[in-house]
Amino acid sequence: MNVHGPHPVAGRAWLGYLGAGLVAIAVYYAIPREGLGVGARVVMYCLTSASAAVVVVSVALRRRDGARLPWLLLGLGQVVYSIADSTFYVLHYLLDRTGYPSPADAFYLGHYPLTVAALLLFVRRRTPGRDLPSALDASVLAVVAAMLSWLYLIGPRARLDQPVVVTIATVAYPVMDLAMLAVAIRLFMGSGKRPGAFVLLSANLLAILTADTLYVLQQLNGTFQAGNYLDAIWLGGNLALGAAALHPAMGAVAEPTAVRENVLGPARLAALCAAALVAPAMLVVQHATGRFHDVPVIAAACATLFGLVIARLAALVADQRRLAITDALTGLHTRRFFVAQLPIEVERARRSGGSVAVFIADVDRFKSINDGHGHPAGDRVLAEIADRLRRAARAGDVVARYGGEEFALLVPGAGPGELTAIAQRLRDAVADRPIAATDTLWLPATVSVGAACYPEHGGDPAEVIAAADRSLYAAKLAGRDRVVVGTTHADCEPAMLDHLCRVADQVDRKQRAPHSSRAVARWTRLLALELGHDERAAHIAELAGRLHDIGKIVVPDAVLSKPSALDPEEWRVVRQHADHGFRLADTLPGFFPVAQAIRQHHERYDGSGYPQGLAGGAIRWEARLIAVCDVWAAMLTERPYRPARTVDEARRELRAGRGTRYDPDVVDLFLDLHAGGRIDSPGRVPG
């Protein structure tokens, strides 16, 4: 069934019309130019011109689809054009009125707006989307055409010493032709089908533009004579328009087509390069001929072409990048983009002391959709799920198609406390309502979601992805259609953690401060809970406090137990213990937050600490707690290089470092807890 309705004319009627018209043109030139032949020539010319108007209007009126309006405008433009022809030839041949301009010129100029409007409608209907590359390419050619038109048609005529009305009429023709040419170039260079009717329409426009240009040139050099070869070109263009309307594919000229990818083919590239070189070539011509009054126009054309070429290249680069990072089916980012973006966000979070979350969602039982309803149905389901996930994400989040039926979401700034809520939002968005797999089939869909975040579940992008994958796998094993959030210290081997604790005890003995690390762990946990952190966060802080000095295991005993001041080299060795402790703790799966706190516990609140020179909130909160607890334990414990301080001295020391070495809020809380009797002795043996 033809959705456009039955075509009014089918078969090869367009060929018959075109053949009859060519015969009419031949008869026109065969008729004598004297006596009765003059009237016969006028009748033959006007009938041939009017036939195109009658054909196009009648065919357009009988259509009921999107092609009707643009073809009707073309037909009306041809009606005005045929009136102009009749007026001109009657005045010129029968009434011998050869003055210029004549009433016919008003009709000739009047047909241009209708034609331009019709061409714009064709462009709009053929490419409903945004086709910026074609628009830029057409603009390049239009600028060159405008420059040439000014140099050889508009400018010379405008500079002649003649009546104003003559100048206006003469200049109006190339200006109108230029407007029609610009839109025609956009039509030719855009996407869309190019059936026989499109070719015939193109021939019509080319013929009119060519004949009009030659007409103006002949007017300029005084060689124009009515009835010369230009009549054949004009009439041929009219016949091409009528044949286009009669062609069976005339409706296809206005059919929408997907915008082509932004690719510069050899032919188009050659045309654009040649066009871009025309303006500099015209400067050379101006120099060679000694005519410099048009140099500003050429310079403006050069600047405009340069801008258009740069814009074209920018559009090409942007489009190629979009294709590289966009999944064709879902419109989401590709896995390649996601994997490249994650390290950037992790590094940003590492510098700022923030976090970044990763969610991996897998469509449950997707294979049964493909097997039971076909891959096209499966593709529609995937596309709809992708759209729902995109709408469930926030601005700034990265949503990607991670695999066949897997999707990934990257959420900068999301911490462990938000993971469950975000993952649940994704799950609910997908399961909200059935999905139209076909026009008549609606299927329910669910996803399993695994979540993890940096730094709680991994110290680098690979570890975070691995943690999210493990969580997704756990969600699948648990029955699907559920959310699982990654874990941290619970994943590590108890034996490995026990070994590191023994290392911490060994360091305490080497420093002659038994049980010091255990005291720091107790106090750090207490501070964390008092500050409102949950049990899980407090446990991480406690572990970091327990292991904060394990890096000193690699420091020589002679340095740790030296009774006198350390020299610069010995201080350099001691300062490395924070990094050594980080590397030791980071060997445990999921222990990166603990390792980071160990590395940062010698950072100072004012940024003067080591090893990274962090300051304020950039220091992990666990490390800021450990810094206060560690220095308190050290001050109250006798060391080889100094005696233990009294409690009052230690309190004064903490207050002195408040806001410079230590977080002021932590110092205040610690001293309040100590005054309340909740900070015990660092040497207390744990029970």
Decide: 482 and 471 in contact? Cβ < 8 Å. no
Q: Which tops the pLDDT comparison, 618 or 682?
A: 618
Nearest to 431 by CA among 471, 473, 379, 483: 483
One domain, residues 232 and 84: yes
Give the distance from CA 682 to its chain's centroid: 58
User: How do strand 483-485 and strand 447-454 relate by DSSP bridges?
Assistant: parallel
Q: Looking at 1-15, 83-97, 235-249, 618-632, which range is the least confident one?
A: 1-15
| 316 belongs to a structural domain | no
Residue 555 pLDDT grade (very low, low, confident, very high; cuts 50, 70, 90): confident
pLDDT at 258 over 60: no
One domain, residues 537 and 475: no
Q: Looking at 57-66, 187-196, 535-544, which range is the least confident one?
A: 187-196
One domain, residues 203 and 94: yes
User: What is the average pLDDT across 408-431?
Assistant: 93
One domain, residues 515 and 660: yes
Give the distance from CA 248 to its chain's centroid: 40
pLDDT at 675 over 90: yes
- pLDDT for the residue numbered 687: 46
Task: For residue 670, give the CATH number of its domain.
Answer: 1.10.3210.10
One domain, residues 535 and 568: yes
Decide: 494 and 543 in contact? Cβ < 8 Å. no
One domain, residues 113 and 36: yes
Phi (first) and psi of residue 676, to 5 degrees: -85, 5
Q: Which tops the pLDDT comparison, 566 or 543?
A: 543
Decide: 612 and 603 in contact? Cβ < 8 Å. yes
Q: Under 8 Å CB-to-CB from 403, ≥6 apart: which residues?
A: 335
Q: Is 620 helix (H, G, I), strand (E, B) or coil?
A: coil
For residues 326 and 386, give the distance between their C-alpha atoms in angstroms, rounded to a whole number.
12
| 562 belongs to a structural domain | yes
Q: Looking at 100-114, 178-192, 372-386, which range is the least confident one?
A: 178-192
Residue 444: half-sphere exposure toward Cβ, Cα within 13 Å: 6
pLDDT at 41 over 60: yes
Write out pLDDT tens, residues 561-605: 787 888 888 888 889 999 888 888 877 766 878 888 999 999 999
Burial call 438-477: b when 16+ CB within 10 Å, e when fewer:
eeeeebebbbbbbbbbbbbbbbbbebbbbbbbbbbebbbe
Mean pLDDT value across the chain? 85
Provide the strand spans (E) within 389-513.
398-401, 406-412, 435-436, 442-443, 447-454, 483-485
One domain, residues 241 and 348: no
Write out pLDDT tens, residues 343-356: 999 999 988 888 99
Q: Which tops the pLDDT comparison, 202 or 515?
A: 202
Largest separation between any pair of C-alpha atoms in the chain: 134
pLDDT at 312 over 90: no
Decide: 155 and 90 in contact? Cβ < 8 Å. no
Write out pLDDT tens, residues 473-495: 778 877 889 998 875 444 445 77
Nearest to 142 by CA among 185, 205, 202, 188: 185
- pLDDT for the residue numbered 381: 93
| 4 belongs to a structural domain | no
- pLDDT for the residue numbered 260: 55
One domain, residues 479 and 508: no
One domain, residues 436 and 477: yes
Provide the strand spans (E) within 368-440.
398-401, 406-412, 435-436
Locate 453 and state its tokens.
Answer: 């975040």
| 175 belongs to a structural domain | no
User: What is the average pLDDT across 513-539?
Assistant: 91
| 638 belongs to a structural domain | yes
User: What is the average pLDDT across 259-288?
Assistant: 75
What separation in angstroms does the CA of 346 have from each of 167, 174, 178, 463, 622? 69, 61, 55, 11, 19
Q: Which tops the pLDDT comparison, 199 or 175?
A: 199
Write out pLDDT tens, residues 68-100: 899 999 999 999 999 998 998 888 778 878 777
Decide: 297 and 153 in contact? Cβ < 8 Å. no
One domain, residues 472 and 527: no
- pLDDT for the residue numbered 20: 93
- pLDDT for the residue numbered 6: 40
| 576 belongs to a structural domain | yes
- pLDDT for the residue numbered 4: 43
- pLDDT for the residue numbered 457: 84
Q: Of the residues 487, 513, 532, which one is the last residue of a structural domain?
A: 487
Task: For residue 398, give the CATH number of its domain.
Answer: 3.30.70.270
Decide: 425 and 409 in contact? Cβ < 8 Å. no
One domain, residues 464 and 499: no
pLDDT at 220 over 90: no
Q: Of the residues 487, 508, 530, which one is the last residue of a structural domain?
A: 487
Q: Of the residues 213, 237, 260, which one is the last residue of a structural domain?
A: 260
One domain, residues 478 and 498: no
- pLDDT for the residue numbered 129: 60
| 101 belongs to a structural domain | yes
- Structural domains of the chain, count: 3
User: What is the average pLDDT across 127-141?
Assistant: 74
pLDDT at 325 over 90: no
For 119, the domain range is: 13-131+191-260
Cβ neighbours of 395 (radius 10 Å): 4
pLDDT at 26 over 80: yes
| 296 belongs to a structural domain | no
Locate 352 and state its tokens.
Answer: 């700022």
Q: Looking at 42-56, 150-164, 505-519, 589-603, which range is the least confident one?
A: 150-164
pLDDT at 471 over 60: yes
